Every structure is written in C-alpha cells, then in structure tokens.
Amino acid sequence: MLTLLAASILAIPPATSYTLIPDSSDDIKAAVNQTVEHMSFITRPIARGRLNKTNPLPRHMQVTRTNDTIAVAFDDGNPIITPLNGDTVPWRSSLMHEDYQAHAERAGDTTAQIIVAPDGERKNEYVFTDNGSRLELRVTISSHRLPRSLTYTLRFKRDA
C-alpha cells in the first residue's frame, strides 16, 4: 500500500492554494438539516449545532505535498498533516480546540484524510482534476450518534 499511495500522490501539486466555487458546491447547512431531520426534538438541535460548528464553509484551501506527507489547511485553520505511509498522527482542531487522530488513505484517483474522534469520524476525500487546477472535496462524517452520515461535496479552483 505504501508504494501505491506514495506513487499516486505525486499527481497532487506540491503546494497549491484553492478558492471555493460556491455555485458548484453543496449547501452544508441543508446537508446537516437532512442528516438530523429524523432525530428526536431533544437531540436534533444539539446535533445540528455541533455539525454546523464543525463544518463551516471554507473559502480557501492550501494543499502541500512533500515526499512523505500531505498537509491540508482550510482558511486560517491548523493544517492536517498526515504521513503518506498511512501512519496515524495526532492533530489539534483550531475550530473545536480538541485533539484527534488522523491518517491518509488512497483509493483509485482519490486521496483521503481521515480524522477520528471519540464520537465519530470525518473523511475528507480529495480528487484533483484538470492537472491540479480543480479540486473536489467530498466530506463524510459518521457517528454512532447520528441516524445517517453527513455527506457533502465542495469544489475549488486553483488560485492564479
């Protein structure tokens, strides 16, 4: 797996900034509402509030690849830096000020960073197209506390 991950990750530009394409991206708040709609009236607002807080709409992304890591930062947040060999590393969220575990995975043309918390998991899948000039971010958040996973897709274009 290491060789496949390391070889295919080279398709990712070494250091690139991206800007959100709002008209081509999903509405995160609508996705959150759809995820929590079947929860009880007691737990629904709690879940909605936490999901909205942990899923703000990022306007910019910075992606940096080295020979052995991929680092992704959203807006002014702490970058998620994961080794390409799949090892798990600690990461501190600048949104929640909590510590999590993160690792990278690779499947086909998709590179993912998985962030694991005690109550669930976030998977950020990155698909680079048009020689790195476009980036599609597919987010999936799953938790035993949610009736279904929260999923949404955001699209970005490389800054000039």
Residues 18 and 63: their CA atoms lie apart, in Å, by: 8
The pTM for the full model equals 0.91
Digitized pLDDT (tens) for each residue of the chain, 160 residues in all: 444 444 455 567 678 999 999 999 999 999 999 999 999 999 999 999 999 999 999 999 999 989 899 999 999 999 999 999 999 999 999 988 999 999 999 888 889 999 999 999 999 999 998 888 999 999 999 999 999 999 999 999 999 8
42 close to 64: Cβ distance less than 8 angstroms:
no
CATH number of the domain at 2-158, out of 3.30.559.10, 1.20.1250.20, 1.10.10.10, 2.40.128.20?
2.40.128.20
Q: Which of 57, 59, 54, 69 is nearest to 18 (CA)?
A: 59
